[in-house]
Chain A
Amino acid sequence: MFLKKGKKEQGPSGNEKTIKSFPASKEEVISFFRQQFHSAADLVIKEVCPHLTVLYLEPLIDGQILREQILQPVQNKEIHSLEELYSTLSVGDVNDEKDPEKALESLLNGSTLLHFDGTPRVLLASTPQSITRSLSTPELESQVIGMQVAFNESLSTNIGLLRKLISSTSFCHDQLVIGHQSKSRASIVYLKEIASEELVTAVKDRIQKISIDSLIDTPVLAELIEDNSLSIFPQSILTERPDRVASQLMNGKIAILIDGSSHALLLPNPLIEFFQSKEDQNIRWQIATFLRLLRIGSMVLSIFATSFYVAALTYHYEVIPQPLLVPLGESRSRVPFPPIFETLLLEIVIELLREAGARLPTKVGQTMGIVGGIVIGTAAVQAGFTSNILIIMIALSALASFTSPSYMLGNVIRLLRFPIIIIAGLLGFYGIMLGFCFILIHLLRQSTLGVPYLAPFYPPRYKDWKDSIIRFPAQFLYKRPDATRPQDSYKFPPSEGEG
């Protein structure tokens, strides 16, 4: 009881140093800010004229604006009051502020504070310097055909990119602040006439309910606002492609961007969309359909292929036809381990290779390929650790797990394999089926922002099947998906005879 009370008093607002209004004298103001920032080394305090003090955080402001638009105009004049100072400055955005809390906040956002001795108020001139890198090509979701620009870490640049793609007044952009320490700015972006208001309020509610000290990146936010963060399956897509976000906004989705994160979050997101890539819309529909089928097929293959091997060789060798059984038996004749051990060993080797490859710099990474491919692969067979056929299957399933257009889902596939292999080693086909049923029930239980996770298949909305596993030619895709419950469900009027 006592401890709890003590904790509450230490909350962010209970700072004893806080004062209600500014002191008038110069010395007091300076000592106040020194104290607030704990004498930070980058806090610059300058006395420009006899009565005028300038305060700013050096790394956050643009030196050129400070020099040309604040210091130069002030230096050549004699200033007698704050009002006079106000009219002298040539910076666009200047605020008269009485509240020290707000003054601190805007200092942290890159403003320059000007104090006139004897006035209990300050002027805040907006002089932020954007700390950002230039735009680059997407690394994680690279495409052959399509926009070759990815988001970067600056929120205003990212919003700008989206605004360029959708020049519409219905483009809504609401900003919220998350994290009582980091004060990260999060933007919720949607299209007013299309996105469902219910979903937008749901997203806002969920974000406002978060009580966290800092939020540095969007995946963390995703985990905090998803329907079931305990599930292995991601329920929102992370993307670095502005074109993907733009086209999904047109489908009635909601995007969340955070200042400092180069990934946007898209909600709601049923499972099927993790198999779709933005590129599918840029290539011919037959090829796009083929690629989507390939991705889904490879997911199934990747999860179940090696466990099938384990189950068949451990319990049900009858299902393997004679001509196949002979070479299989030959290649396994020297292997001293049971199939489950052999498979787990090799799967872990593949995972090691992959993880090492992801952590190493690119140049060293090539060596990894040689070590992995030749040394481990060939040597393991020659040493009699594994069979040739298993190596082929493991390589296939690893390759197949790379085909997922979403890195997040790729990781899911990577991990799901292990429990299925183990249960296949214990219970054979029966175990695999148990795993399959469990995954199916689990998927049925999930939802993304209240929308069923397996939409549009279950509950069946066959009109949305046109852009799911298959992709119809563009002229048939006149409807927005029902999953997002759009206010306006038509992209364009369906042409005659195709309604």
Chain B
Amino acid sequence: MTVMKINLSERPKHSVSALLLFFVIHSVQVGVGLQGFQRAIYKSAGHDAWISVFISGIWSLLVLWIMVKTLSYYKNTDLYGIHYDVFGKWIGGLFSALYMLYCLFAFFIIIRNYVEVIQAWLFPQLAAWFVALTLVLMVIYTVTGGIRVLVGICFFSVIFSAWLLLLLFFPIEYADWRSLLPIMEADVSHLMKGAYKTTFTIVGLEVLYILNPYIKEKEKTLKFSSFGLAYTLFVYLAVMVVSLVYFSGGQLENTIWATLTLFKIIHFPFVERFEYLAITFWMLIILPNLGMYLWCAVRGMSRVFHRNEKSYIYWFSLLIIIPVCFVKTTNDVNMLNGFFAKIAFVVVFCYPFLLFAVTWIKKTYKERIGRKS
């Protein structure tokens, strides 16, 4: 390994305006989790599940603030640069490699879950590798276009899928609002457990660590990314509340993809069974996730290992197809999801605090030395 530049100087051609962070953060957060996150949280927190969602949203906001704070100690760097600076070449490199593995794991989890939904609802006969391959080809086409295309997909994903939110008005017609009462029946430990279960759905804000050097107006980073987070929280709360009032408790516990089941009731004069359209439309919702995670991992290859980015876009994404074929049953997928949620909880919701502490210590230490000399 050669010496790594901690701060990056990106040419303005590649930078994106901070406003777009709203779309990036929101679109990377929303993904396969939203299709059925109600069940797990309901199991922990009961009909107060929406409070759990709210708590995890607040926690994410805190994490986001810590992340921005950590990044602001440097001029223009990403997570890999911080690792190198704080932990040194070898340990920092190891941490970066672990982070890249996490990103690839997330990439895999998203593809596998989407394949699961496609097979369960639309085409039971369709081979998993085929669905994965088509998705991967789309992702490759996006990521090879560079950061602007990737952020563009995030942008259009949010714009084009905004109408799905309006569909929530249809199930409200059949709502029983009393099922929300009494509020705060679950105790704090259950609520916290519910919030923990939200991890799988709400992760995605960690891409800010890698995207940071490409943002034009750094002082607005916190503002727009927290707007994105707030919008995510709003969407999740809305979906959660509607699910709680539409389904009965027992139903919710037995519905794997509650959001998709919500869409079943939607009915227009020319089209019904809306979940078919929603599931296929979900491709546009997961494209930003896939693209961003792949890009983060590939960035690591060039930043930490000084390799050519382009070839690793193909390698990483095509290699992911192999494990997709090996995971066969729904149980395996659920087990993997649980495993991923545990890792994600550590990487996304705990690790930033540690990193912040270490960075802060290093900074104050450096300052003290500077003052002495």
Contacts and interface: CB of A to CB of B under 8 A. Distances in A.
B280 A319 contact: no
Contacts of A438: 138, 141
B123 interface: yes
A445 B140 CA distance: 12
Nearest to A320: B271
Given A319-B272, A324-B270, A428-B123, A460 B277 contact: no
Nearest to B156: A440
Nearest to B143: A441
Given A428-B123, A438-B138, A433 B284 contact: yes
A371 interface: no
Contacts of B122: 315-316, 428-430
Interface stretch (A1-9, A183-191, A288-296, A451-459): A451-459
A210 to B, nearest CB: 25
Contacts of A459: 16-17, 20, 148, 152
B195 interface: no
Given A319-B271, A319-B277, A320-B271, A434 B156 contact: no
B19 A316 contact: no
B223 interface: no
B272 A321 contact: yes
Interface string A314-334: 011011110110000000000
Interface in B246-277: 267-274, 276-277
How big is chain B's contact interface, by range?
Answer: 35 or more
A237 B269 CA distance: 40
Interface in B270-296: 270-274, 276-277, 279-281, 283-284, 287
A120 B221 CA distance: 76
A203 B20 CA distance: 30
A438 B135 CA distance: 10
Contacts of B17: 459-460
B137 to A, nearest CB: 9
Contacts of B16: 459
Contacts of A441: 138, 141-142, 145, 149, 153
B2 interface: no
A430 B132 CA distance: 12
Contacts of B281: 433
If over half of A's interface residues share one DSSP class (helix, strand or loop), that class is named, otherwise mixed; here it is helix
Contacts of B118: 430
Contact of B145 (A315, A444, A454): A444
A436 interface: yes
B282 to A, nearest CB: 9
Given A318-B273, A429-B122, A458 B280 contact: no
A108 B333 CA distance: 77
B271 A445 contact: no
A310 interface: no
A459 B216 CA distance: 13
Contacts of B19: 460
Contacts of B274: 319
Contacts of B276: 316, 318-319, 429
B311 interface: no
Contacts of B156: 440, 444, 458
B364 interface: no
B267 A321 contact: yes
A326 to B, nearest CB: 14
A424 to B, nearest CB: 11
A283 interface: no
A319 B273 contact: yes
A419 to B, nearest CB: 14
A432 interface: yes
Contacts, number: 91
B152 A458 contact: yes
A415 interface: no
Nearest to B142: A441
A436 B20 CA distance: 22
A315 B123 CA distance: 9
A438 B138 CA distance: 7
A437 interface: yes
Contacts of A319: 271-274, 276-277
Interface string B144-156: 0100110011011
Interface string B218-229: 000000000000
Nearest to A461: B17
B189 interface: no
Nearest to B278: A429
Interface string A26-60: 00000000000000000000000000000000000
A437 B281 CA distance: 10
Given A429-B280, A460-B155, A437 B287 contact: yes
B329 interface: no
Given A444-B149, A452-B148, A458-B156, A433 B142 contact: no
B280 A430 contact: yes
Interface string A416-438: 00000000000111101110111
A445 B149 contact: yes
Contacts of A442: 141
B255 to A, nearest CB: 19
B283 A434 contact: yes
B373 interface: no
Contacts of B269: 321, 323-324
A427 B131 CA distance: 10
Interface in B19-54: 19-20
A460 B20 contact: yes
A277 B277 CA distance: 34
Contacts of A452: 148
B155 A440 contact: no
Contacts of B153: 440-441, 444
Given A318-B276, A433-B284, 20 more contacts: A316-B276, A319-B276, A320-B270, A429-B122, A430-B118, A430-B131, A430-B283, A433-B283, A436-B284, A437-B138, A438-B138, A440-B156, A440-B284, A441-B141, A441-B142, A444-B142, A445-B141, A445-B145, A452-B148, A458-B152
21 contacts: A316-B273, A318-B273, A319-B271, A319-B276, A321-B267, A321-B268, A324-B270, A428-B122, A428-B280, A429-B122, A429-B277, A430-B123, A433-B283, A440-B153, A440-B156, A441-B138, A441-B142, A445-B141, A445-B149, A454-B152, A460-B19
The 10 closest A-B pairs by CB, nearest first: A429-B280, A444-B152, A433-B280, A445-B145, A318-B273, A444-B149, A433-B283, A458-B152, A321-B272, A319-B273
